[in-house]
Amino acid sequence: MAFNAAGGAVNWFPGHMAAASRAIRDRLKLADLVIEVRDARIPLSSANKDLQPVLSAKRRILALNKKDLANPNIMNRWINHFESCKQDCISVNAHSCTSVNQLLGFAELKLKEAISKEPTLLIMLVGVPNVGKSALINSIHRIATSRFPVKDKNKRATVGPLPGVTQDIAGYKIATQPSIYVLDTPGVLVPSIPDMETGLKLALTGAVKDSVVGEERIAKYLLSLLNIRKTPLHWERLLHREEELCEEICSSNKKDNSLRRRRLNNSDAIYVQDLVTEVQRTLCHTFLNFTGNTEEESELETLIDMQLVALRKVFRIPHKPFDETQGPTSKKLLTLFRSGKLGPFILDDLPDGSEN
């Protein structure tokens, strides 16, 4: 879209990524199994295209991480798509022991033949920044140390909400007999992201630093996706159901009292949920009352500007000139999206022919 294109191409390839990319290629030659971690919200856009020729020649598992943030109804279709392309694929939540155990079981199955032959095996995790590799390896390490007596005290990988936290390649022993090591690697993007849509999706999910693209531009891209997909109409139905449920609860004194106690005991959680509801209601209201044609770029941009003004009031940002309030408003909106509060999403579209 024109208003998203105005910021230019989205690229982020600092010096440490260039060095890490070379190191990853060298170590890939030694890997017995590669777990390529992608963001489940962007199963295609979060692939490092430059590494694909090398990865396709290895034993590989595609781990679609952050499945708790992705639409479960569409997730299964994506897994079917990759399996139809002869790629082993599993969706995973790096913070769930059950989910990570399923991934480990899958990895052991892939290594079954090698385990009987080799005294030492190497599993390598690769992926673009902020797809959750470090969180995943920490969970693997916790599970492995509970399974196997490992004498060496291993350090945990550093985990953070910002891309680029891991800037070196580190190994962690997770099992003995045979010895199995997992290598955690830095998130590496391609030197030049092939198209703007991919770059904006990577920025929206946090793989590219906000300062590279600009929070306002990323938030406008998010709102454009929500409006084009008519997500506010879906929210309208959900909000209507919630209101009906609330009326039923309030009609019962007993349930009403328990609800009141829950609000007192979980005031922070209730505040966030109320905020999310108000954000969804505001976007519904502006979308339903907009008389323009959202298929026209200029009119869609007008709607988005109206929504940002309305959201400023929801987030209680002090009244200032519009340009000065866009930043704080955008930041709060992005936080809600990235934490999954606005709901589960998959931003990539299934390739043609995969719908069936």
**Number of C-beta neighbours around residue 343 at 10 A:** 16
Say which CATH number the domain at 187 has.
3.40.50.300
Q: Please indicate, yes or no, if residue 32 is contained in any of the structural domains.
A: yes
Question: Dihedral (C-alpha) 15, 334, 204, 324: value to the nearest 10 degrees?
Answer: -70
E strand segments, the chain: 33-39, 60-65, 89-92, 120-126, 170-175, 179-184
Q: Which of 40-49, 131-140, 201-210 shows the lowest mean pLDDT across its residues?
A: 131-140
Cβ–Cβ under 8 Å, residues 277 and 314: no
> Residue 2: is its pLDDT beyond 50?
yes
The whole-number pLDDT of residue 290 equals 96
Q: Reply yes or no on whether the pLDDT at 219 is more than 80.
A: yes
Residues 226-243 have a mean pLDDT of 85
Same domain? For 139 and 71 the reply is yes
pLDDT given at position 32: 94
**135 and 248 inside one domain:** no
**What integer is the mean pLDDT of 253-266?**
51
Residue 322 lies in a domain: yes
Instruction: Provide the percentage of residues in the chain whose pLDDT is more than 70.
Output: 81
Q: Is residue 88 part of a domain?
A: yes
Structural domain boundaries, residue 228: 214-252+266-339
CA–CA separation, 58 and 25 (whole Å): 12
pLDDT at 33 over 80: yes
CB 163 within 8 A of CB 103: no
Model confidence at 103: pLDDT above 60: yes
The least confident of 62-66, 248-252, 303-307 is: 248-252
pLDDT value at 94 more than 70? yes
- Whether 163 and 28 share a structural domain: yes
Q: Are residues 94 and 156 in the same domain?
A: yes
The residue assigned the tokens 């052991």 is: 108
pLDDT at position 264:
45
The arithmetic mean of pLDDT across residues 9-38, rounded, is: 90
User: Domain check: are 231 and 107 in the same one?
Assistant: no
153 shares its domain with 289: no
CA distance 306 to 313: 11
Give the containing element (helix H, strand E) for 335.
helix 322-338
Q: What SS3 class is residue 353?
A: coil
pLDDT of residue 269: 60
Residue 261 located in a structural domain = no
If asked whether residues 220 and 179 sit together in one domain, one would say no
Residue 158's pLDDT is 47
The pLDDT, as a whole number, for residue 275 is 93
The structural domain count of the chain equals 2
**How far, in Å, CA of 93 to CA of 139, rounded?**
10
Same domain, 168 and 44: yes
Does a structural domain hold residue 64? yes
Q: Are 174 and 232 found together in one domain?
A: no
| Residue 162 binned pLDDT confidence (cut-offs 50, 70, 90) | low
Residue 326 falls inside a structural domain: yes
The mean pLDDT value for 237-259 works out to: 61
Q: For residue 303, give Cα distances in angstroms to 196, 242, 275.
A: 22, 26, 21
218 and 75 in one domain?
no
In this structure, are 81 and 228 located in the same domain? Answer: no
31 and 97 belong to one structural domain: yes
Average pLDDT of the residues of the chain: 85
CB 45 within 8 A of CB 71: no
Q: Residue 204 falls within a domain, yes or no?
A: no
> Would 346 be classed as within a structural domain?
no
Do 130 and 86 meet the contact criterion of CB atoms below 8 Å apart? no
pLDDT at 159 over 50: no
- In 3D, which of 84, 86, 45 has the Cα closest to residue 64? 45
- φ/ψ of 125, rounded to 5, equals -100, 130
